[in-house]
Amino acid sequence: MGDVIVISGGGSVEVGTDTLFTAVAALARAETELAAGMGEVASIERLVGPSSAGFPGFGPVMAADLEMDAALLTLARARASAAALATALHGAATAYGEAERVTQTTAEQVAAGIAYQLGVQLAPFTPLMIQLGRRLWPAILGSAGSSSGSSPWLAPIKLLVERRDSAFVVRLAVMSADEFGTGALRLPLGSDPSHRVAGDQGLSTSIAAIRDLGRTDGLLQETPIITARSSSDTAPQAIPTGWADRAGRIPDKGTTDQVRIDTYERPDGSKSYEVYIAGTRDFGLGPDDQPWDMTSNLAGIEGSEAGSIVAVENAMKESGITGDSPVLITGHSQGGLVAARIASSGEYNVKGLFTLGAPAAQSAVPAGVPWIALEHSNDIVPALSGRWAHSDPVIVTRDVGPLELARDPHFFAVHLLPEYEKTAALTDVSGDPRVGAVTRSFDDFTAGATPVLSEYYTSVRERSVTSDSPPAAR
């Protein structure tokens, strides 16, 4: 399963493996070629048909004419078979998509009821659960990216969070958080005015409550942001050649840089840009000096102005990007969330998005922005933003198998960039037309452009934070 990707979204209800959609595309090409072949045979037949009667040697011509009739019939049957098979495969993909939708809706309804009852029963223990969570959080998520061998007790947690379909379970739990809160408050189910409709309205309310709880202990507070260019390269890499190439340009944890911005010069002398945004760097709850932290994660999912968003906007402004500048944005994890939030703001001329493992499901990106979102079925991070409610990107999903994960000693390897680079490489060779359409839009963006500059940016939080500090400052 590790080399199989499943394609969904992109304005279609169809869901299926890349192999299925590649077969559909091949059948469509075969139908077109068979139709062209029929046209060619028919043209020849008109030339040697009845008009040749009376000429010497007409017998062989008549025999050839009969053979051409038989060939036309065979081609017509083959064309009909190709069309029928393509229709059947489309039907299978549509049925798969509809079944998945029904399963998701039913599961959400069941999960909501269970969460409400848990809230009612566990209400007396809620303060204890909160305190326990505060103590366990740094010990568990603080080890993300480290070797699981350094903490033996992390091994069972690694197995638990990397199970197949773990994201599905987490997505249900996240979308049921407001029902749990309603039950804990002993309110009738559905009486809370913030209660969502169809499972997409209560997430921001739940996150706001978590952030309010954190602030009582001086945690999860946004701060002013300081951004500086750390380095620049006037001999940048060539134009990226695909999704894996773009994934490889995201700043990794081996550097303090969080943002890379490439400047292109177009044939007409104008400039365009590609922005690459790193994932979460600090899993603590604060206070800290890292804008790529859990404070920004929660603020970004909630829809507030996160420190990492401000930092990227600072870097974009410093590099010369204006509201009119054409720009592509690529981001991993929190970087993908930031990319989606910037695109949804309407303040920038975003021409395309590429996100990897991003909790961006609550971002309302305009439908006209081409967007490919990579997710792993056992990566719980994208699921932390609930289900896709306001945007419809082309979603490429891969199930990273247990053998692959066992070979990687890092805690939560399924979410780290190396695994997503593998998924990006599979996306590069996808035959799905939805993937192809977004690929062409990115290729059109860079066509004829010349890379002239690569800049790297690092941002920090100001340490002098008080309860009266503004959420963020550019």
- For 95-107, write each residue's pLDDT tens digit: 666 666 667 677 6
For the chain, give the mean pLDDT.
79
Question: What pLDDT score does 38 carry?
Answer: 84
Please check the confidence at residue 470 and state whether its pLDDT lies above 50: no
- The band of 199, judged by pLDDT with boundaries at 50, 70 and 90, is very low
Q: What pLDDT shows up at residue 144?
A: 46
Q: Span 254-273, mean pLDDT?
A: 95
Mean pLDDT lowest among 59-68, 244-253, 376-385, 391-400: 59-68
- Is the confidence at residue 143, as pLDDT, over 70? no
Q: What φ, ψ does residue 165 adopt, rounded to 5°?
A: 65, 20
Q: For every residue of the chain, which 3-state class applies, written as one string?
A: CCCCEEEEECCEEEEEEHHHHHHHHHHHHHHHHHHHHHHHHHHHHHHHCHHHCCCCCHHHHHHHHHHHHHHHHHHHHHHHHHHHHHHHHHHHHHHHHHHHHHHHHHHHHHHHHHHHHHHHHHHHHHHHHHHHHHHHHHHHHCCCCCEHHHCCCHHHHHHHHCCCCHHHHHHHHHHCHHHHHHHHCCCCCCCCCCCCCCCCCCHHHHHHHHHHHHHCCCCCCCCCEEEEEEEEECCCCCCCCCHHHHHCCCCCCCCCCCEEEEEEECCCCCEEEEEEECCCCECCCCCCCCCCEHHHHHHHHHCCCCHHHHHHHHHHHHHCCCCCCEEEEEEECHHHHHHHHHHHHCCCEEEEEEEECCCCCCCCCCCCCCEEEEEECCCHHHHCCCCCCCCCCEEEEECCCHHHHHHCCECCHHHCHHHHHHHHHHHHCCCCHHHHHHHHHHHHHHCCCEEEEEEEEEEEECCCCCCCCCCCCC
Range 210-218, long-range pairs (CB < 8 A, 24+ positions):
210/298, 211/298, 211/299, 211/302, 213/130, 214/285, 214/286, 215/467, 217/134, 218/286, 218/287
**Position 165 pLDDT exceeds 80:** no
Would you state the pLDDT for residue 472? Answer: 45
201-254 pLDDT, tens per residue? 456 666 666 666 666 666 778 889 999 999 999 888 999 999 999 999 999 877
